Structures are given as C-alpha cells and as structure tokens.
Structure 1
C-alpha cells in the first residue's frame, strides 16, 4: 500500500492483524511499514512483523528513531511454517504492546513510547520488506489495520469468526480474489507477476524435477500469447500450467503451498480472458 496519512498510526493505538500460510523455512516478512531498518546516521521509525523459522519464532519490532529513540521487540515461540493457516494480531495502546498467534496472547510488554511513523518513507508492505526482500512464499488473507487496540477477547473472536469487531478499520484487505504479488487487472502484468512468484518457488526448491521445466514452459507460452493478444491459446497454456500443478509425478517436488498459490493466480488470469 502506498504511503498515506490515514495509514500512519504515529504515537497512537493500533491493531495489525491477518492470516498467513507458508511452509518455507527462510525468514519472511508478514508486514513491514513506514521505513525499513535503523541506520547509524539517519533516524528511522517503523513497525515490522517477521516470521523467523531459523530462530523458531515470530518477531515484531516497533522503532521510534527520532528524539528519544525507543525500540520494542516481542517474540512468540514457534515459526508456524507448517503450510497451515495461522492468524496474527499485533496491538498497541497506552497500557501495553501485545502479540497474538491464532487468537492466543503469546507475548506482551510495557507501552511503547514515540511515533512509529514519523517522517514515514514508505507505506504498508504485506508479505515483504519495503525493498522487496524477505518475501513470504505462501499466502496472506484478511489483512486489517485498526485505529485502536483490540482486547484479548476481541482478538480471539476475530481469529475464530473472521468478523471485524465494530468500526475503526483504517485498512481492510479481504483478498477475496488474489492476484500474484504486484499484479494489476491487466492479464499481461498478472502473468508477469505470476512468473516472478514461480521463480521464487523454484529458487526455494519448492518446485523441482521435470515439473519445474514443464510449468515454466507452459507459463512462458502463456505470456507470449498474451503479449501478442492471442487469448485462446494463452488460456490453453494456462490450463496446461494448472494440469502440471494438479498432477505431479515422480521424481517431481511440489509443495502444497506452492501448488495452491500458483493455481489460484493462474485461474484468475483465465477468468480475465
């Protein structure tokens, strides 16, 4: 999301919440906002939620790098990179900063002092850092930013029912139709973004064996047909791409997360044609 005053929480209370699913074992960003990381000569303020399988934890950071610089770090045990859906919620108010996983409080500490969005350099980034690093190879859903801190009971209810309690949503991304990251409503751009996602899974080893070449070839054919305006053969190539995902054979490697994410984006492109 682009930088906007309505998305900058400053010194005030907030709730960031949403769902994620991944089985990738590398560090991945669930959400990152306002700036990226401390610099020895340039004060920055930011908030981040990071999945860290290498440290078997989920870590959140609040940094107010101006004037009296303060940093608050919370860590929840367990990486939750098992390919299942997990709910995260991170709250701040005048009493505490609290992290919840799957509706249960896992870490809390004293209130954080200072603005976390002062002189914001960027907006909210879901599933990656502002520089595009630490990409989440999986899926996210129902991302919300609220202008108040939900109670423990409200977080539990949100994780169970997926229904927002009351008002105050500064941002709500239900992601009912999910395109590949960075994609627009243009099927050519969506296909290019899908190619980038496929390459990420290939680099991570989540797709390997003959299916790696077959799926890449089918998607490459679809892109070329789309670029030339040949929608019918493009759709047929995407259908082949999906068939490869649905029918892996020995000695293919294909994780469930990769298959589900790639299939979903390919089906969306077909619907556009």
Structure 2
C-alpha cells in the first residue's frame, strides 16, 4: 500500500528482477559517474589509434586530422597524397586533350556519328540536306534565289550578294503578261513635269456641229427691191430663192489647255543576284 507522500517502500533487492530502491540507484549512479569520467579522459579509449589499423577504432590525430591508407577499392576512403597524385596526372591529360586539334576523333569532313569540328576560317561543313530539319548549306540558301535574278529594292545601294544595275534610269515600270522588255523615249520626270501646257488638235466644224442661227440678206428681182426677205411687186406674188451673203473662211481652229502632272513616286533600284 502507498505510504506517506504516495511513496512505495521495498526491501533491498537480491534478484536481478527485484525492484531497486533509491538507495541502490544512487549508489550505482555514483560509481558509474567516476568510471565514465575516467573513460572519457582516456586518449586511446577502447584501443583507438591515429594510425590506420585494421579492426581498431579511428582516433583524430594532431590538428584534428584523420589518417587513412591509399585506397584499393572504389568505396575506400582516400588520402591527400592519392588525391594530389591523381589531380596532377589528370591535369596533364586534360591539357593534352585540350590541345588536340581533333579530340575524340572530331573531323571537319561531314561524317556520321563523329564530332563536327570547325574548318578553315571558322566554317562548319555539312552534307546536302535530305530531311526537312537538316541543316541547310550556303548552296541550298543561294539556290532559293538563283544567280542572275533581277529584283527591285527600295534603297540606294544593292544588298550584300547583289549588284546594282544602272542600265535603266528615270523610267517608269509597266506590268506585262508577255515578254519583258523596255521602250519609250521620254524620261519619267520629263513626261510628268509639274505643270505642262498642251495643244489640242485642230478641228473643222461641220454644219451639224454649228448651233442653229438666222441670217439677214438682200434679194434683187429686176428693179424691185426686197428688204429683209420681203418682196414689193405692186400686188404681184413673186416666188424667189434668196441667197444671203457668206462670211468666214472655213478654216480649222485649236484650243489651249494646261494640266498638273506632279505625280507622287517612290525611287527604287534594280539589282542582280550575284
């Protein structure tokens, strides 16, 4: 039964599975503390050593360094001497490799399954393309616009790869469905001068082209005189044909006119593909 303060009392334990009292626990703790302190103070606890020794515990050497033998297997810990030797050997190999003009069998000639290498002038060569995603060479690019092709450019100088054609100058363009060519005799700026005075061709008017209009005249019949087409004949009725006096020379006439032909334009050049 629990005693005062909720404590449970027991006799000194004898068997290993007997309940231990505070007295036994305190005594054991004091004894173990002294042993642990002595163990911790050892420099070679459990036979540890700074020298790489099989089946011995490793101990830090001076300067907090850990020693190891040269590795044999891939999973072995290595040492500085081995790393330095390997680095020196690799540095020489890397320098030799970098100095190669054809490392790993690289070549300037297009060869399947080989590393490509820059050729003379820093150019890279390739075989003629076959698939749509193959690299195109200069030959294929140039063939898109064949050599000798003529094109218009809205610029003063021909672009790279083209030569400016100066055969034609100050001329207009005419679109034809037949054979291409050239012609005419009047320059563009002359034909389309800002202001021009022109002459209309002479025309001779016909009777039908004249406006309707009357004429006065004088009729003579013997000694009887008629004014303005009226005859006086003492009560007699006289039937006559009346001819009026004519005027005019029947010559043609012209008209003058002016027109503004200051046409808007854009200058272009003709260039030939090299």
Give 1 or 2: higher helix fraction: 1
Q: TM-score, normalization: structure 1?
A: 0.17
Asked which structure has the greater RCO (Cα within 8 Å, sep 6+), the reply is: 1
Which entry has the higher C-alpha Rg, 1 or 2? 2
Give 1 or 2: higher strand fraction: 1
Q: TM-score, normalization: structure 2?
A: 0.17
